Structure 1
Amino acid sequence: MPKKGMRSIFFSSSKTPSSSPLRSTPSTPLHTFSESIMEENLEKAQSIIMPWDPNTSNYDKLTSLFHEDRKEAKDFLKCVKDLQRAMHFFVSENSSSEKLVRAQNLMQIAMKRLEKEFYQILSANRDHLDPESVSGRSSRASARSSTSDYEDDVGSEDELRIASDSISEVEEASTLVMSDLKAIADCMISSGYGKECVKIYKIIRKSIVEEGLYRLGVEQLSSSQINKMNWEALELKIKNWLNSVKIAVKTLFYGERILCDHVFSASESIRESCFTDISKEGAINLFGFPEFVAKSKRSPEKMFRILDLYQAISNLWPEIESIFTFESTSTVRSQALTSLIRLGEAVRTMLSDFESAIQKDSSKSPVPGGEIHPLTRYVMNYLSFLADYSGVLSDIIADWPLVVQSPLPDSYFESPNPDDSLKSRISVRLAWLILVLLCKLDVKAELYKDVSLSYLFLANNLQYVVSKVRTSNLQYLLGEDWASKHEEKVKQYSANYERMGWSKVFSSLPEYPTAMISPEMAKECFKEFNSAFEQAYRKQSSWIVTDGKLRDGIKVSIAKKLVPAYRAFYEKYRFTLRDERNIEALVRFAPEDLGNYLSDLFYGTGVSGSKSSSSSSSHSRSR
Structure 2
Amino acid sequence: MPRKGMRSFFFSHKADSSSASHCPSPSRSTATPSIPRRSISDAAMAKGVEEAEAMIMKWDADTSAYAKVTSIFYESKKEAHDFIKCVNDLQKAMHFMVSENSSSEMVVRAQRLMQIAMKRLQKEFYQILSTNRAYLDPESVSTRSSRLSARSSTSDYDDDVGPEDEIRTAGDSISEVEQVSSNAMDDLRSIAECMISSGYGKECVRIYKIIRKSIVDEGIYRLGVEKLSSSQIHKMDWEIVELKIKNWLEGIKISITTLFTGERILCDHVFAASDSMRESCFAEISKEGATLLFEFPRLLVSKSKRSPDMAFRTLDVYTAISDNWPDIESIFSFESTSSVRLHALTTLSKLGESVRMMLSEFESVIQKDSSKSPVAGGGLHPLTQYVMNYLSHLADYSSILGDIIGDSPPPVQSPLPEFYFESSDTDNTPAPAISVRLAWIILFLLCKLDGKAKQYKEVSLSYLFLANNLQHVVSKVRTSNLRYLLGDEWISMHESKLRQFAANYERLGWGHVISSMPENPKAAISPEEAKETFRKFNLEFEQAYRKQSSYIVPDPKLRDEIKASIARKLDSVYQEFYETHRETLATIRNAEMLIRFAPEDVRNCLSDLFYGTGSGDSMSVSSTSSSSSPRRRHR
Pair in the same fold by TM > 0.5: yes
CA contact (8 A) 2:59 2:67 kept: no
1:99-125 superposed Cα distances (whole Å, 9 cap, x missing partner)? 111111111111111111111111111
How big is the shift at 1:416?
8.5
Return 5+ residue gaps in structure 1 as ranges.
1-9, 12-24
CA pair 610-50 structure 1, distance change in 2 beyond 3 A: closer
Separation (CA, whole Å) in 2 of partners of 1:340 and 1:512: 72
**Alpha-carbon shift at residue 621 of structure 1 (Å):** 6.1
CA contact 2:422–2:487 (8 Å) conserved in 1: no
Tell me the residue number matched to 2:193: 186
For the structure 1 residues 240 and 422, does the alpha-carbon distance in structure 2 shift closer, same or farther, using more than 3 Å as the test? farther
- Verify: 1:595 aligned to 2:603, yes or no: yes
Give, in whole Å, the separation in 2 of the partners of 1:171 and 1:358. Answer: 57
Deviation string for 1:198-247 (max 9, x for gaps)?
11100000001111111111111122211111110000000001111111
Cα contact 1:147–1:153 (8 A) shared by 2? no
Q: Tell me whether 1:84 sits opposite 2:94 in the alignment.
A: no
Question: Which of the residues 538, 541, 544 maps onto 1:536?
Answer: 544
Aligned partner of 1:454 among 454, 462, 483: 462
Shift of 1:423: 6.7
- Compared CA separation, residues 258 and 591, structure 1 to 2 (3 A): same
Say whether 1:549 aligns with 2:560.
Answer: no
Give the Cα separation in 2 of the matches to 1:266 and 1:612: 97
Q: Distance in 2 between matches of 1:495 and 1:147?
A: 83
Equivalent residues in 2 for 1:294-373, closer than 5 Å: 294-297=301-304, 298-373=306-381
| Aligned match of 1:21 | none
% same residue: 68
Is residue 244 of structure 2 the alignment partner of residue 237 of structure 1?
yes
How many residues are aligned here? 601
What secondary structure is seen at the aligned counterpart in 2 of 1:389?
A: helix
Equivalent residues in 2 for 1:111-510, closer than 5 Å = 111-138=118-145, 142-145=149-152, 148-152=155-159, 155-163=162-170, 165=172, 167-297=174-304, 298-414=306-422, 424-510=432-518
Equivalent pair of 1:202/1:277 in contact (CA under 8 Å) = yes
Contact 2:601–2:621 (CA under 8 A) maintained in structure 1: no
- CA deviations 1:246-267 (Å, max 9, x no partner) are 1111111000001101111111
TM-superposed deviation, 1:294: 1.6
SS in 2 for 1:448: coil
2:21 is aligned to: none
CA distance in 2, matches of 1:291, 1:422: 34
1:474 Cα deviation from its structure 2 partner:
1.1
CA contact (8 A) 1:54 1:112 kept: no
Distance 1:130 1:432, change over 3 A: same
Contact 1:129 1:174 (8 Å CA) reproduced: yes
Shift of 1:507: 2.3
Range that drifts further, 501-510 or 257-266: 501-510
Contact 1:137 1:143 in 2 (8 A): no
Q: CA deviation at 1:31?
A: 5.1
Alignment partners' CA distance in 1, 2:132 and 2:508: 83
Higher deviation after alignment, 45-54 or 312-321: 45-54
Could you tell me how far apart the structure 2 residues matched to 1:489 and 1:152 are? 81
Check the 8 A contact 1:227/1:296 in 2, yes or no.
yes
- Asked if the contact 2:598–2:629 (Cα under 8 Å) also holds between the matched residues in 1, the reply is no
**More deviation, 422-431/456-465:** 422-431
Q: Distance in 2 between matches of 1:55 and 1:221?
A: 48
User: Could you tell me which amino acid in structure 2 is paired with residue 553 of structure 1?
Assistant: E
| 8 Å CA contact retained: 1:370, 1:454 | yes
| Contact residue 150 and residue 183 of structure 1 kept, 8 A | no
Secondary structure, counterpart of 2:170 in structure 1: helix
Q: Does 1:620 align with 2:630?
A: yes
Instruction: Give the deviation of 1:311 after TM superposition.
Output: 0.6
Q: CA deviation at 1:190?
A: 1.0
Is the 1:455–1:496 Cα contact (8 Å) retained in structure 2?
yes
- Whether contact under 8 Å (2:147, 2:174) holds in the other structure is no
Q: What is the one-letter code of the residue matched to 2:598?
A: A
Specify the code of the residue in structure 1 equivalent to 2:585.
Answer: L
Question: Cα distance 1:112–1:583, how it changes in 2: closer, same or farther (>3 A)?
Answer: same
Compared CA separation, residues 424 and 528, structure 1 to 2 (3 A)? same
Question: Residues 132-185 of structure 1, C-alpha deviation per residue, up to 9 Å, x if partnerless?
Answer: 010113459944438633554994543233235353221121111111111111
> Do the aligned partners of 1:179 and 1:263 also contact (CA within 8 Å) in 2?
yes
CA distance in 1, matches of 2:164, 2:472: 71
Give the corresponding residue for 2:11: none
Give, as a single letter, the amino acid of the residue that structure 1 aligns with 2:604: N
CA contact (8 A) 2:328 2:341 kept: yes
**Structure 2 CA distance, aligned partners of 1:544 and 1:610?**
18
Letter in 1 for 2:378: G
Contact 1:397 1:425 in 2 (8 A): yes
Distance 1:610 1:204, change over 3 A: closer
Measure how far apart 1:91 and its partner are.
1.7
Contact 1:416 1:424 in 2 (8 A): no
AA partner of residue 620 (structure 1) = P
Which letter does structure 1 place at the counterpart of 2:614?
G
Question: Which stretch of the first structure deviates more once superposed, 349-358 or 87-96?
Answer: 87-96
Supply the distance in 2 between the matched residues of 1:516 and 1:383 (Cα, whole angstroms): 59
1:91-106 correspondence runs (5 A): 91-106=98-113
Please give the alpha-carbon distance, in whole angstroms, between the structure 2 residues aligned to 1:158 and 1:365: 81
Deviation at 1:37, TM superposition (A): 2.6
CA distance in 2, matches of 1:183, 1:418: 64
Q: Pairwise mapping of residues 4-23 of structure 1 onto structure 2 (< 5 A)?
A: none
C-alpha contact 1:115 1:197 (8 A) present in aligned 2: yes
User: Whole-Å Cα distance in 2 between the matches of residues 502 and 156 of structure 1?
Assistant: 89
Q: Which amino acid aligns with 2:218?
A: E
Counterpart CA distance in 1 for 2:300 and 2:33 is 78
- Name which of structure 1's ranges 503-512 and 126-135 shifts more when overlaid on structure 2: 503-512
Tell me how far 1:367 sits from its aligned partner.
0.3
Shift of 1:40: 1.5
CA distance in 2, matches of 1:415, 1:356: 29
CA RMSD of aligned residues (A): 2.5
Q: Is the 8 A contact 1:140 1:262 kept in 2?
A: no
Q: 1:350 offset after TM fit, Å?
A: 0.7
Residue 245 of structure 2 aligns to which amino acid in structure 1? I
- Alignment pair present for 1:524 and 2:532: yes
Partner of 2:22: none
Given residue 376 of structure 2, which amino acid in structure 1 is its aligned partner? P
1:26 positional shift: 9.4
Q: Secondary structure at the residue paired with 2:554?
A: coil
- What is the distance in 2 between the residues matched to 1:419 and 1:321? 37
Match of 1:19 in 2: none
Amino acid at match of 2:568: K
- Aligned AA (1:285): L
Contact 2:135 2:180 (C-alpha < 8 Å) held by counterparts? yes
* TM-score, length basis structure 1: 0.91
Conserved 8 A contact 2:548-2:616: no
Moved more, 295-304 or 359-368: 295-304
